[in-house]
């Protein structure tokens, strides 16, 4: 690990299966993966050659939602709110009760540390999945009955790149990260996948179905879901 005045903390990692130098933007700086035939000097040369591009990506990262979890920052999900509490203890403890996920942390914990944030999120993801399994299949069933759709089952997954999908066998897959969205947006995603049980594409007929089940608001909802500001997830 090296500290740099321009890029921040730079972590160099050797990966014998890597073929190229890879630079990843982190919360505190850069993580640089080195293949077997490259040195740190090669990596520094690569960073300097791509300085403008890397700095641009770091700036974009800063402008995204950057909720660093600490005792002054709360994050809401569909069914619970996340709160940090500094206490006199030696380890990190999670407790979900009455709609509040309390993360108890040792008084001296540095919340800006990436490893600490990752620890927080491992616990949060556990409860996100648990709550998603509790409420999302029930919501799918409700909306399917309301609009006359038929599906086979609902699976809860951890995808960060897709809110949901529908298989040819009418199995609905939903990401547990949907729990960060308001109910209206969650319903839009669920209805989107249910409409795929009728049309396995994004044809005109598909969007006609979407307008039918959203009172003609599918285009607006689609845009609002796309620009929804998510918390920074590790």
Instruction: Quote the tokens at residue 60.
Output: 């974009």
pLDDT digits (tens, 9 = 90+) for 136-184: 999 999 999 999 999 999 999 999 889 999 999 999 999 999 999 999 9
pLDDT digits (tens, 9 = 90+) for 64-118: 545 678 888 889 999 999 999 999 999 999 999 999 999 999 999 998 888 899 9
Half-sphere exposure (Cβ direction) of 108: Cα atoms closer than 13 Å: 2
- The structural domains of the chain, ordered by start, are 2-63 (no CATH), 75-127 (no CATH), 132-226 (3.30.2010.10)
Is the CB of residue 163 less than 8 Å from the CB of residue 225? yes
**How deeply is 201 buried, as exposed, middle or buried, from its count of CB atoms within 10 A (0-12, 13-18, 19+)?**
exposed
pLDDT digits (tens, 9 = 90+) for 5-20: 888 889 999 999 899 9
Alpha-carbon distance of 166 to 104, in angstroms, equals 38
């Amino acid at each position: 690990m090296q500290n740099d005045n321009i890029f921040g903390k730079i972590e160099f990692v050797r990966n014998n299966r890597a073929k190229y130098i890879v630079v990843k933007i982190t919360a505190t700086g850069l993580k640089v993966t080195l293949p077997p035939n490259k040195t740190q000097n090669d990596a520094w040369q690569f960073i300097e050659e791509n300085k403008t591009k890397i700095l641009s990506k770091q700036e974009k990262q800063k402008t995204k939602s950057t909720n660093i979890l600490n005792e002054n920052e709360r994050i809401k999900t569909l069914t619970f709110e996340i709160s940090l509490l500094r206490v006199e203890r030696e380890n990190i403890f999670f407790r979900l009760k009455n709609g509040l996920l309390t993360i108890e942390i040792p008084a001296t914990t540095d919340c800006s540390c990436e490893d600490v944030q990752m620890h927080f999120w491992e616990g949060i993801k556990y409860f996100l999945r648990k709550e998603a399994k509790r409420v999302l299949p029930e919501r799918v069933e409700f909306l399917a009955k309301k609009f006359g759709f038929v599906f086979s089952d609902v699976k809860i997954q951890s995808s960060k790149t897709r809110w949901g999908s529908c298989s040819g066998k009418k199995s609905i897959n939903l990401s547990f990260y949907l729990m960060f969205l308001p109910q209206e947006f969650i319903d839009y995603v669920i209805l989107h996948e249910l409409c795929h049980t009728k049309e396995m594409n994004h044809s005109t007929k598909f969007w006609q179905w979407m307008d039918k089940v959203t009172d003609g608001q599918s285009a607006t909802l689609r845009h609002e879901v796309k620009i929804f500001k998510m918390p920074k997830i590790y």
